[in-house]
Each structure stands twice: as C-alpha cells, then as structure tokens.
Amino acid sequence: MTEAPVLEIRDYRLNFNTFDGVYHALDGVNLAVGKGQSLGIVGETGCGKSVTVRNVLGLLPSPPAEVISGEILYNGKDMLKVTPEEMQKIRGIEIAMIFQDPMTYLNPVFTIGTQMIDVILTHQKALDRHARKNRKEAKAHAIEMLRKVHLPNPESQIDRYPHELSGGMRQRVLIAMALSGSPKLLIADEPTTALDVTIQAQILDLIAELVEDMGLSVVIITHDLGVVAKVCDNVAVMYAGQVVEYGTIEEVFGQPKHPYTEGLLKSIPHPGKPPEELYGIPGFLPNLLTPPKGCRFQARCPKAMDICGTPPKNRNNAAHDRTVLCHLYEEGFADA
C-alpha cells in the first residue's frame, strides 16, 4: 500500500471476562483500510467480526471486554487510548457506523427529522462557535442528506415516524444520518441483512455511489459472501477470532488458500449456476473459553496435519498484502 491506511488494526487481542471464564474473542487481528477503499469482513456467527470494529468507536463496555494487546490506528491515532471527550468529536464526524436492523436504531416516538437534526446539532459542538449550524440550517442539511441517499420527497418524509417507512427507507435514513457529519470512514455492520434482495441491491448500489462521490472509506461486515464480492476491494475472512485469510476480492474468491475459505465458498449454493454438490464444513466452532492450542480450524479441517497442533503464523505473499494463516503455506506462497 503506497498511502498510509485510514484505519489500521494491529495485533488486536480482546477477551471477555465472563462468569464461565475468560472468552478469547479476538486473537491477533490485523487489518487495514486505505483511503477510498472498501474492506469486507466475512465470517460465520460468533467469529468476532462485529467485535473487531466495535472498539474503533469505543462501543464495547469494559468490563466485560478487556483489550489485551494491539492498537487501532485511525490516521495514526490510537483509538484505544482516546478519551471519551475526544471520542465524542470523532463519532459521526470522522467515523460513522450503521447497523443491521434499521428499526432498532431509530427511536419510534420521534420523527426521523427530529432525530436527524439532533445528530447534526450534536456534531456542531465539535466546531468553532461561529461555524455552528442553527436548528433551521440543520434541518436544511438533513433534507439535503436525505436527498443524497435518494429518499423520495425528503421535505415531507422528514416529518414521518420510523414506523411509517419501509425497511429499505429506514436504512437510507440511517445512512443519511451516519453521513450527515461527513465522516471519512463508514463502518457498516450487516447493513443489508434485514432487507429483501431487491432492496439490498438498492442499498449496495447507494453505498458504492457514496464511496465514489464522497471518497469514503468503508468497512462492511457481513456473512454474505456475495455482498462482499460485489462491493468490496479487499476481504478479510475471519474464523474463531482470527483473520485466516486476507487479500483482494480477485485473490481470495478466485484462488482461496485457507481451507476454511475454500470450505466456505464450496458451502454456498450458487444462484447463477445449476446445482452441484454442496460441501458442509463438518463440526462446530471451537469454544473460545478454551481455544484449541494450535490452529483454531484444525478440528474441522480436511487438510489437518500433525503440525497443526502448534499455532500457525501469518504468511504473507511476497508481492503484496495478501496473508494466510495456515501451516500449509509455511514456505510462503505465490499467486498463479
């Protein structure tokens, strides 16, 4: 990467201290997102994909969460060391986040206008006194943002309540709200999972448009490999709290290296092709209260060897940023 990344996560380890013991949620996560780039984080339930990004904005309560090591660098600044006051000036203005279920994140008793104006006025506190918008200007800005996300008739929609809008419209409102402070980085946690495919296509199209027009960097978390392949430049595949494979979409989807990525790709029926036999990855996720000593995928891996009892190291492709966490690539690897 020539330019310094906007967001870089280095050797990030995080535990949850529970009554049952210490849950090793993340174990040495390394990720980077460049300016104007989009990174997809994929993995199955419980692999730690959401937990990885929550602390970028300080959203994990501690306790129970405990950061063991690592840093989350946003333009060089370690977000794990930021004070709550400083964080307030970053949330929504530098980095914004949208979540899965658009209904739960909107307050049902206020109109979407009231909620958007609130957000915009809160952002003003980070500005100099003379540059702040007043309520009327904030409303104009809210309408402008709604227009940007292609909500029809924003002037009248702004006085509506969340229940009067469809799921797709609500997600548009949340995106408008997230982008109202013109952030540089947008983190979207399963943004289309609650939506129908035709509406999902609209929202993905909108995100692609905003990335192009606003030079936004995006992190998209999803379990849907199709969504990642469509909107992201790079992809990180997570398994049991680790990034097992990282690379560009072409590399990872075209030539998967890690046995887990291979299994995952073989386990989804392809909507565009006649059926072939599916491969269900046998077994279950390991219990992270007592993570396996070596490779975390060894118990389910068809290619497991004796050496897999020891933890694998990340292997880089000599040429660029592609990494694979697997003993098979101990000697390094090259892309064909």
Partner 1 sequence: MLETHDLTVGFPVRADGKKAILTAVNKVNIRIEKGDALGLVGESGSGKSTVGRTILHLNRATGGSVTLDGQDITRLNAADEKVLRRRAQMVFQDPHSALNPRMTIMRSVAEPLILHTKLRGAELREKVGSLLEIVGLQKQFLYRYPHELSGGQKQRVCIARAIALNPELLVLDEPTSALDVSVQAQILEFLKSIQKELDLTYLFISHNLAVIRYVCNRVAVMYLGQIVEQGETEEVFSNPKHPYTKALLEAVPLPEPGQPRRGKPIVGDIPSPLNLPKGCFFNTRCEKAIAGVCDQKPVPNFTTEDGRRVRCVLYDPEMQPQAATAL
- For partner 1, the binding residues (CB under 8 A) are 44-45, 166, 168-169, 196-202, 204-205, 208-209, 223-227, 229-231, 249-250, 253-254, 263-272, 274-275, 277-282, 284
| Closest separation in Å from C-beta 48 to partner 1 | 14
Nearer to partner 1, 55 or 157 (CB): 157
Give the single-character DSSP code of 333: -
**Residue 119 vs 240, nearer CB to partner 1:** 240
**Beta carbon of residue 327, minimum distance to partner 1 (angstroms, whole number):** 21
For partner 1, the closer of residues 108 and 280 by Cβ is: 280
- Identify the CA nearest to 205 among candidates 170, 236, 165, 175: 175
Count CB-CB contacts under 10 A for residue 224.
Answer: 16
Cα dihedral: 26, 21, 58, 141 (round 10) = 90
242 beta partners: 239
Q: Least Å distance between CB 102 and partner 1?
A: 13
- Least distance from C-beta 148 to partner 1, angstroms? 16
Select 1 or 197, whichever has its Cβ closest to partner 1. 197
Are 14 and 200 in contact, with CB atoms under 8 Å apart? no
Name the residue nearer to partner 1 (CB basis): 144 or 196.
Answer: 196
Between residues 264 and 308, which has the closer beta carbon with respect to partner 1?
A: 264
| Least distance from partner 1 to the Cβ atom of residue 330, Å | 26
Instruction: List alpha helices for 215-274, DSSP H.
Output: 225-231, 249-254, 259-267
Locate 1 and state its tokens.
């990467």
Phi, psi for residue 142 in degrees, rounded to 5: -60, -45
CA 209 to chain CA centroid, nearest Å: 18
Shortest spacing between CB 200 and partner 1, in angstroms: 7
* Shortest Å distance, C-beta 234 to partner 1: 12
Residue 74 vs 246, nearer CB to partner 1: 246
Contacts of 47 (CB under 8 A, 6+ apart): 238, 239, 240, 241, 285
> Minimum Å distance from CB 267 to partner 1?
4
In the bound state with partner 1, the residue whose beta carbon lies nearer, of 135 and 283, is 283
Nearest C-alpha neighbor of 322 from the set 260, 259, 249: 249
For residues 108 and 102, what is the distance between their CA atoms, to the nearest angstrom? 11
Secondary structure element (H or E) that encloses residue 211, with its range: helix 197-214
Minimum CB separation of residue 208 from partner 1 in Å reads 4
User: In the sheet where 95-98 sits, what is the strand order?
Assistant: 95-98, 185-189, 217-222, 38-42, 234-239, 242-248, 323-325, 314-316
Closest CA relative to residue 193, chosen from 65, 267, 311, 101: 101
From CA 223, how far away is CA 165, in angstroms rounded? 26
Nearest CB to partner 1, comparing residues 55 and 200 = 200
